[in-house]
Amino acid sequence: MIRLAVIFSLMICVTFSMSAQDNHVGHDHSGHDHSTNDRSDGDHSGHNHGNEAHSEGDRDHGGCGHHGDFDVAETAMHHISDANVYSIGPLQIPLPIMLKSDDGWELGMSSKFNPDLLGHGDGHIGHNRYVLHGGIVKRIADASFPMGEFDVEGFMHSEEKIGGKKKDVTYVCTGDAMHKLEQKSTFDGGLFGGGMSSYKDFSLTKNVTSMLVVCLFLFWIFRRAAKAYKKQDGEAPKGLQGMLETFVIFIRDEVAIPFLGHNWEKYFTFLLSVFFFILGLNLFGQIPFFGGSNVTGNLAVTMVLALLTFLITNFSGNAHYWKHLLVAPGVPFIVKLIIIPVELMGLFIKPLTLMLRLFANITAGHIVMIVFIGFIFIFGKSGESLVGAGGAAVGSTLLTMFMMAIELIVALVQAFVFTILTASYIGAATEEAH
């Protein structure tokens, strides 16, 4: 396992290093017009940001279409975020898009935006106010923008104060004007810097594709194991069958039976499904050159998993469980006024912690590794200092190797922790009165 971790680490170092170098230092902007005159003479009417804000953005980011200096945070968030293209190494594979707005449906493949398939996936063509930026479909905020196809000359980022909060704003350059893009919808609804888009995205994204791949792979290996049991009836398991049986027996003997007692068989299938689903996604996200997906580091995915646990736990709850939750027998009335609200809050806090724990641990590992790779470009001054880049490359490789080994352990531990906590919650809800 350590050997695999080392190999994977070296591969991921090379992948991210080459990708980041190509995208941020020597990025090919062919087909884009980056002239200063277009930006300075652009029509900014309809925007409440003023010329000063745009000038500041030009100074900070080098103008439309240029990435400027290497930004570790921006690069990290780009690589762990969901997208409408699937990454295999530096290659960006288009995925189907399904977008619904007041103007109707926008269907097709993300290739219709003519993306830079060897970069971040910025599209050169826009359709019906939609553009492709960083592999993600976004929409022009100006409702008066004409429908149909249009050329995209580049993108510009700036930090602006909106509603008393500083937010990162992206502009698309087309023709002689810059147009503000909508923020992608986030869980906070724009409260903490996110946004709410005017359209609904039902597209097959990178994370969805990864989930389908993992589910198909899990179905295949379990199908093979089932056939092996039929062929080798009464024989000791071996190979893939033996490896899977080790995990199954471990979850049965160390998780299901201790926490669920005589009810363990009723919930065993769900526990196994959760464990292998999370483990498969965690390990799949560690494979370099093949997607780099961060599925379990996506709040939408962890929220659904936690919601399933919440529903199964509370729908399985017996009278004893609900009596102690809502009545708290044997407790003085004054104390009940404190305990019962706390217990009801705990009812919702438990799935919330499940969601956040898995999300935070997986995302943190990805960000740390990308930050280590970012040291190469920071100390190398984005290609200006070969000595600094070389020294940082050695240190970053060693640190990334260490983190990759840790991440393989975390992948297993987080799957186990989610499963055992789920079993404990269900066990507490189904426990009989003594």
- The pLDDT tens digits for 309-337 are 999 999 988 888 888 888 888 888 888 88
pLDDT of residue 47 exceeding 70: no
Residue 417's pLDDT band (cuts 50, 70, 90): very high
Residues whose CB is less than 8 angstroms from the CB of residue 187 and which lie 6 or more positions away in sequence, other chains included: 194, 299
What Cα–Cα distance (Å) separates residue 66 from each residue in 29, 58, 99, 178, 180?
8, 9, 28, 14, 17
**Alpha helices (runs of H) in 252-332, residue ranges in sequence order:** 257-260, 264-284, 299-316, 319-326
Reported as a single tens digit per residue, the pLDDT across 370-380 is: 777 777 777 76
Question: Within 10 A of 210 (CB to CB), how many other CB atoms are there?
Answer: 25
CA dihedral angle for residue 251, residue 252, residue 255, residue 256, rounded to 10 degrees: 130
Q: What is the pLDDT of residue 266?
A: 92
Residue 153, classed as helix, strand or coil, is: coil
What are the sequence ranges of the domains in the chain?
A: 31-64+83-203, 208-430
pLDDT of residue 5 exceeding 60: no
What Cα–Cα distance (Å) separates residue 280 from each residue in 11, 41, 175, 269, 277?
20, 52, 46, 16, 5
- Kindly state the DSSP code that residue 254 receives in the 8-state scheme: I
For the entire predicted model, the pTM comes to 0.75
